[in-house]
């Protein structure tokens, strides 16, 4: 929960993605419950019939069809013209949204580091599978140390772009607070295509996460959410008379840590998480709440796979 004075920051791609893990991730692909159309032919099977090697169906020939697709074997047997239909393989948009507000920069291990690693690993999976990978960071500071609403890297495709992805993730500097809803609105307006969107945040958002998530939900995207909480947020290890300062808006709360208060805090946290879960469930958003101490491979290979995001 507490803000760490000098948190661990990744400096190289290896800090974000272990090569051995990368090897294991290569076998995975992003799945979407929707068969979404992409702009480029990708490695992803589309509902759309197209040109690929995988046979899908036949249909009667009509004037104007490409003669190359006529199934001559059937014509020989039945003396009727049928066209051979193949499944079209399309590309998929994978949009990862990281909350880079100051609240993510707390906890030990850092929540933001887990978010970075998760984004890198999922991005790698997307790139390896020739999806269009975009990453957006809500909040944080730009290179001039100015707070920013949103920073985005778009339309990365192919493994070669992994360096660009990791560089973007490494240069992210969490801090300040940004209006979540406003940022989500901008993401929703600027995203292209259809695909899968993953939001990584702690969802401890004072203005509320509802509107923001609702905005991200539409537009043909499968929405996944990972809520990262630090172990200190789950089990506070503080005591005494404290003046708690909010890392984002410097709001103060004077508390005397007592057993009933801790109990109440846990109840409140639990209720908060439940409400988020219910919100997500009602809107077919897949939510996974994890502590920041969760190893990223466990998170990907176990939790997200089980949730159907990966296959």
Partner 1 sequence: MTFLSLNTALIAAAVAVPTLFILYFLKLRRRDLEVSSTLLWKKAIEDLQANAPFQKLRNNILLILQLLALLAGLFALAQPVITSRSLEGKRQIIMIDRSASMRSTDGDEKDPASKRTRLEVAKQRALEVVASLAEPGLLDTEGDRAMVIAFDTRADIIQTFTDSKAELRRAIESIQPTDNPTRFDEAFRLARAHLPKRKQLEDGNVTLHDELTEGGVAVQLFSDGRLPDIDKLRLQNDTGNRDELTYHLMGDPKSWNIGIITMRAERQYDRPEKASVFISLQSTSTTPRSVDVQLSVEGNVVAIKNVAFQAAKTKQVPFVTDKGEQLETVVEPESRGVVFEIERRDAAVLVATLIHPEPTSTAGAGPDRGDVLKTDDLGYLALPPARQLTVAAVTDGNLWLRIGLEGMRLSRPAKLIAPSAAQVFLDSPEAAEYDVVILDRWLPTITDDKGKSVQGLPPGRWLIIGAAPPPPMGLDDLGPGKSGVALNWKRDHAILRGVQLDDLTFPESRTTEIKPGSPMISLADGPSGPLIVEGSDLTRRAVIVTFNPLVSNWPLKPGSLIFLAKALDYLARDATDTAALSATPGQTITQRLPRGSSGVSLTPPEGNNAKVTLVAQPSGEIVYGPIKSVGIYTLTWDGQPAGGDTVVNGTPRRAISVNLADPFESDITPRSILSTASRVVSAEAQSESGTLRRLWPWLLLGMLGVLVLEWWVYNRKVAL
Q: For 74, phi and psi rounded to 5 degrees?
A: -70, -40
With binding defined as CB under 8 A, does residue 100 bind partner 1? Answer: no
With 0-12 / 13-18 / 19 or more C-beta atoms within 10 angstroms meaning exposed / middle / buried, residue 111 is: buried
Which of 19, 64, 260, 282 binds partner 1 (CB under 8 A)? It is 260
- The reply to whether 103 sits near partner 1 by the rule CB under 8 A is yes
Q: Which two tokens stand for residue 45?
A: 């099977």
State which residue, 39 or 264, has the beta carbon closest to partner 1: 264
Angle at 309 between CA 308 and CA 311, to 5 degrees: 75
275 binds partner 1 (CB under 8 A): no
234 binds partner 1 (CB under 8 A): no
Choose the stretch contacting partner 1; rule: CB under 8 A; options: 37-45, 155-163, 212-220, 265-273: 265-273
> Which positions from 44 through 63 interact with partner 1, judged by CB under 8 A?
none
At how many degrees (to 10) do helices 259-282 and 210-217 cross?
Answer: 20
Minimum distance between the CB of residue 228 and partner 1, rounded to whole angstroms?
Answer: 10
Structure-token match 């890392």, residue found: 247
Give 158 or 239: the residue with its C-beta nearer to partner 1. 239
Binding residue for partner 1 (CB under 8 A) from 107, 140, 193, 195? 107
Q: Sheet with 221-229: list strands edge to edge.
A: 150-156, 132-138, 93-99, 195-201, 221-229, 286-291
Which residue of 82, 202, 209, 225 would you call a contact of partner 1, by CB under 8 A?
202
Gyration radius (Cα) of the chain, Å:
23
Tell me whether strands 221-229 and 252-257 are parallel, antiparallel or unpaired. Answer: unpaired
Tokens 């969760």, residue? 294
CB of residue 282 to partner 1, shortest distance in Å: 22
Which of 163, 171, 190, 258 binds partner 1 (CB under 8 A)? It is: 258
Do residues 25 and 124 lie in contact, with contact meaning Cβ atoms separated by under 8 Å? Answer: yes
Residue 243 binding partner 1, by CB under 8 A: yes
Q: How many CB atoms neighbour CB 39 within 10 A?
A: 13
Under the criterion CB under 8 A, does residue 253 sit at the interface with partner 1? Answer: yes
Q: How far is CA 141 from the centre of its chain?
A: 21
Asked if 264 touches partner 1 (CB under 8 A), the answer is yes
Site string for partner 1, 110-149 (x = CB under 8 A): -x--------------------------------------
Q: Which residues bind partner 1 (CB under 8 A)?
A: 1-3, 102-104, 106-107, 111, 202, 204, 206, 230, 233, 237-248, 251-262, 264-265, 267-269, 272
């Amino acid at each position: 929960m507490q803000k760490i004075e000098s948190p661990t920051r990744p400096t190289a791609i290896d800090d974000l993605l272990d090569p051995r893990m990368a090897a294991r991730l290569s076998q995975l692909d992003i799945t979407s419950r929707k068969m979404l159309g992409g702009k480029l032919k990708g490695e992803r099977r589309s509902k759309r019939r197209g040109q690929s090697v995988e046979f899908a169906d036949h249909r009667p020939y009509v004037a104007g069809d490409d003669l190359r697709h006529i199934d001559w074997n059937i014509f020989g047997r039945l003396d009727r013209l049928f066209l051979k239909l193949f499944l079209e393989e399309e590309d998929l948009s994978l949009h990862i949204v990281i909350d880079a507000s100051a609240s993510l920069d707390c906890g030990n291990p850092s929540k933001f580091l887990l978010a970075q690693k998760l984004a890198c690993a999922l991005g790698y999976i997307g790139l390896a599978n020739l999806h269009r990978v975009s990453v957006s960071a809500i909040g944080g500071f730009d290179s001039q140390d100015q707070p920013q609403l949103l920073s985005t890297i778009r339309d990365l495709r192919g493994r070669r772009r992994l360096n660009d992805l990791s560089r973007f993730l490494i240069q992210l500097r969490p801090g300040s607070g940004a209006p979540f809803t406003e940022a989500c609105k901008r993401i929703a307006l600027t995203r292209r295509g259809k695909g899968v969107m993953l939001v990584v945040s702690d969802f401890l958002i004072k203005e509320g996460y509802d509107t923001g998530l609702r905005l991200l939900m539409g537009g043909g995207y499968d929405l996944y959410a990972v809520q990262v909480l630090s172990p200190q947020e789950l089990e506070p290890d503080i005591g005494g008379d404290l003046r708690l300062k909010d890392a984002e808006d410097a709001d103060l709360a004077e508390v005397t840590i007592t057993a009933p208060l801790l109990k109440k805090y846990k109840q409140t946290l639990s209720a908060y998480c439940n409400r988020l879960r219910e919100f997500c469930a009602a809107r077919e958003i897949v939510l996974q709440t994890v502590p920041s101490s969760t190893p990223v491979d466990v998170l990907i290979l176990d939790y997200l796979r089980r949730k159907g995001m990966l296959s």
